[in-house]
Structure 1
């Protein structure tokens, strides 16, 4: 019996040591990303205020844009999103663009609302015979607005978000297209800012450019524009606000410094149309179509020696709606984790493959061992912590070390992200709102992070059981009026 106990103690110590070493490595890695992000933000701070983008409006190097808005059951927010693009004082400040709303077989009133509000009328079928020719589900009809000649609406059979985006690409006529979600609200100069690296890099090809995404829950939005930024009092939403700050400012900005960015948010991103068509468009057999396309572009870039880059721009801001209840949030996060797995699995030959440079030796391993498998290791960390506390003095040191590392990994880095974002943009003018964000960030490790970890571990089992290719349904209140 004593030998069994000694074996258990030894095994438990080894497991704890592995978890502690892993957590230390992750903390150091994120600290490096934090410093890289701070260095870049220090150079760029204030650019969004002095408006250095206006000269680009008249530049011959500013390419026209096709803006694709895939919509499935987006009746709550679709009108505000389209209004933020085409009308009023909030109309996009960009020289030439078209807007293509793709109704992907919605079963709510999305289609009818768009047709009625924007006076959409059917156009000739010849428009459907497009030059791009990515295979998609059947397109029933294409409409054009009588009010706004650059606004189009496609009505098609449901095929998922990727299929809807591909249908939009087929209709697009401009060299770059933007994909934004149907519940997204943009600031007027967002596209001038996100196109800046594309316009400036005249000697180097740019495959894609991603922008910053903030959450609109709690804010007052009128006719598709933010009238007043307000912080939601829902703790679930506040924690997601912090999460977005950390992911976009630290993760994406840090990785993009070395052309290692593998994710451009479907809520706000610009892609080179010809290259996306060349690689076959979005894959319809994955729920992580955004990341998979970016990874595939990186892969083809290296295999074909295009010498191109993918950028992340912190200045452009768009607003989207976050889930406000645990059920919707769980659905979203399990889908995200499944999408991460599918993107990595489809391109598994890149893992540790020197043929793909730092993408294969740094970026892909990071997403495998930190983003995908990290929750599993973190889950065992929580289990080890609980067991250590139950068993008492023998494992108290390890338990204390795990608690401190989890606080640093979760709460302190989150608080740092809040400071960076506020220092850069100053969106929260009330001290009380900042205080609430700091308090929520400090509590992350005690409730929010364990829940996220558990759900992502659940996602691993859902991957084994089967893959859900549907968009999924999230309960939305609508971010705009």
Structure 2
């Protein structure tokens, strides 16, 4: 039985490695196509064009006092012709709302709210006396999804963008993320941009002045993880309209389409993925041919956990959210009605992303006990170790290569050397840690532990 299971784990890992190599090739080809031309003038022209679509920027904030003001300040300075910023204070226990009101000289206003999506009660609406396009909502706590639903109800424009309260957006990011929507004549219902880690960067008045790598090993590994998830996974899946995740830190959605699916689900910790899956479901059922895409160039900077305690909570929660999204939409799994989304995306996220950590953990256990059994088991232990290095390290090094090839945000040679070094070390410490934390998320599901967990932030801006 042990031998059979060892062979199964080895075959599984080979299959996953081949799948990611295919995604790497697709991503590399796509990046080469996009970055062989200088697009600066195109985006500069677009930001001044009358064809741009106005956007409502929704910023749900719960206990974001440390970073909310610089984040809002960065949004008010973006290079885009028509937009509004709506900060949704979701019953914060700190001074989040007071900080926004004081910094931007906001006053209470009377506003008629058309409640198209269910959300908790909105207590007050504020508008800045300095910036006409800046609003703040004070509402009863209901969680991030409920806050976004309230923001959608109050939004004025046909597209909205969801941003985390600690995010720093690059000045031309909206021109870049909206370009596919403008070019497609409303064939695209959602666009995701890239998310990068701000820890270690120099940020002043809500703008990234200098991009540098953090000195904290856990943060560096998360930087590499983000490269792998965005530049390999999402580009490859987006190429064939198979993308099931748009990060809550930076995504643009067609408001009417989201209203049609009743907004964000509030009974899950994975509301971002769940919304995208339901949008895919709607597209297939209506046979509209609309698409959900990812564009790598527009970048949003966010704060990453620096302690293993907070990172552990985050990864366990993400894994629970992944399962809930798959479970709520299980009807789509291997259903011909939903095309490749049902036959490729849903099985991929179930078998690779959700069940993968369990198989990997058992693989680690086999690697530990096999040498004591001797014979063929020792050979299999060596094979599993080599596969783990390829899966956990070499693929991450490939993702760093894609980053250097395309966006090139890290210009210091020593930062690139550190990224490659840490990529090589991933299989020996960071990958096993995240595998354990994700399995812990499965155990929490079994125990019906649905707590969000406190995610304290230091703030990355000045």
User: With structure 1 as the length reference, what TM-score do the two structures score?
Assistant: 0.94
CA drift of 1:390 comes to 2.4
Give the secondary-structure state (helix, strand or coil) at the position aligned to 2:42: coil
Cα separation, partners in 2 of 1:47 and 1:213, compared to 1, 3 Å = farther
**Paired residue for 1:442, among 403, 424, 437?**
424
Task: Look up the match of 2:101.
Answer: 115
**What's the offset of the Cα at 1:396?**
1.2
Aligned partner of 1:402 in structure 2 is: 384
* 1:218 matched to 2:200: yes
Provide the C-alpha distance between the structure 2 equivalents of 1:140 and 1:468, rounded to a whole number of angstroms.
27
Gaps of 5+ in 2: none
Shift of 1:111: 1.0
Q: Secondary structure at the match of 1:195?
A: helix
CA distance in 1, matches of 2:437, 2:90: 28
Between the aligned partners of 1:278 and 1:134, the Cα distance in structure 2 is: 9
Provide Cα deviations, 1:145-194, integer angstroms capped at 9, x if missing partner.
01111000000010000000000000001000000000000110000000
Q: Distance in 1 between matches of 2:114 and 2:98?
A: 28
SS class of match (1:425): coil
- Are 2:123 and 1:140 equivalent residues in the alignment? yes
Give the deviation of 1:58 after TM superposition.
Answer: 3.9
Q: Secondary structure at the match of 2:253?
A: strand
1:100 is aligned to 86
Q: Structure 1 regions of 5+ residues with no counterpart?
A: 1-10
Q: What is the match of residue 474 of structure 1? A: 455
Distance (whole Å) between structure 1 residues aligned to residue 435 and residue 345 of structure 2 = 22
Deviation for aligned residue 1:456: 0.7
- Cα distance in 1 for partners of 2:372, 2:314 equals 34
Question: Any conservation in 2 of the 1:229–1:428 contact (CA below 8 Å)?
Answer: yes
Equivalent of residue 19 in structure 1, options 1, 6, 9: 9
Aligned match for 1:72, one of 58, 62, 69: 62
CA contact (8 A) 1:350 1:356 kept: yes
Within 5 Å, give how 1:392-431 maps onto structure 2.
392-431=374-413
Are the counterparts in 2 of residues 48 and 315 from structure 1 also a CA contact under 8 Å?
no
| Mapped partners of 1:58, 1:109: distance in 2 | 36
Rounded Cα–Cα distance in structure 2 between residues aligned with 1:51 and 1:181: 29
**1:22-74 superposed Cα distances (whole Å, 9 cap, x missing partner):** 00000000000000000000011165763411222343431100000000011
- Taking only aligned residues, the RMSD between alpha carbons, in angstroms, comes to 1.2
Partner of 2:140: 157
> Deviation digits for residues 260-307 of structure 1, max 9, x if unmatched?
000000000000001101110001101100000000000011112222
Q: Which digits, 9 at most, give the CA deviation of each residue in 1:347-381, with x for residues without a partner?
A: 00111111100000000000000000000000110
C-alpha contact (below 8 Å) 2:245/2:272 kept by paired residues: yes
Q: 1:292 is matched with which residue? A: 274
Counterpart of 1:62? 52
Is the CA contact (8 Å cut-off) linking 2:122 and 2:140 kept in structure 1?
Answer: yes
Structure 1 pair 51–413 and aligned structure 2 pair: CA distance change class (3 A)? farther
* Cα distance per residue 1:378-434 (max 9 Å; x no partner): 011001111112223341110011011111111001011111101212222221111
Give per-residue Cα distances to partners, 1:101-136, cap 9 Å, x unaligned. 000001011111111101110001xx1x32342111
What SS does the aligned partner of 1:439 have? helix
Structure 1 window deviating more from structure 2 (321-330 vs 429-438): it is 429-438
- Which has the larger displacement, 432-441 or 359-368? 432-441
Q: Distance in 2 between matches of 1:119 and 1:384?
A: 61
State the TM-score, normalized to the length of structure 2.
Answer: 0.98
> What is the deviation of 1:473?
1.8
Task: Give the match for residue 265 of structure 1.
Answer: 247
Residue 32 of structure 2 is matched in structure 1 by 42
Q: Does the aligned pair in 1 maintain the 2:48–2:80 contact within 8 Å?
A: no
Measure, in 1, the Cα distance between the counterparts of 2:73 and 2:36.
Answer: 28
1:380 aligns with 2:362: yes
Work out the CA distance in 1 between the residues paired with 2:372 and 2:416: 37
Q: Is the 8 A contact 1:138 1:157 kept in 2?
A: yes
Q: Distance in 1 between matches of 2:187 and 2:39?
A: 28
Shift of 1:467: 3.9
List per-residue Cα deviations over 1:6-36 (Å, max 9, x = no partner). Answer: xxxxx11100100000000000000000000
Distance 1:61 1:275, change over 3 A: same
Contact conserved, 2:228 with 2:396, CA < 8 A, in 1? yes
Q: Does residue 186 of structure 1 match 2:169?
A: yes
2: CA distance between counterparts of 1:269 and 1:469? 25
CA distance in 1 between partners of 2:38 and 2:163 (Å) = 21
Asked if 1:177 is matched to 2:163, the reply is no
User: How far apart, CA to CA, are the structure 1 residues paired with 2:282 and 2:13?
Assistant: 33
| Aligned equivalent of 2:181 | 198
CA distance in structure 2 between the aligned counterparts of 1:425 and 1:23, rounded to whole angstroms = 30
Aligned to 1:134, what secondary structure does the other structure show? coil
Distance 1:291 1:234 in 2: 29
Q: Which residue of 2 aligns with 1:229?
A: 211
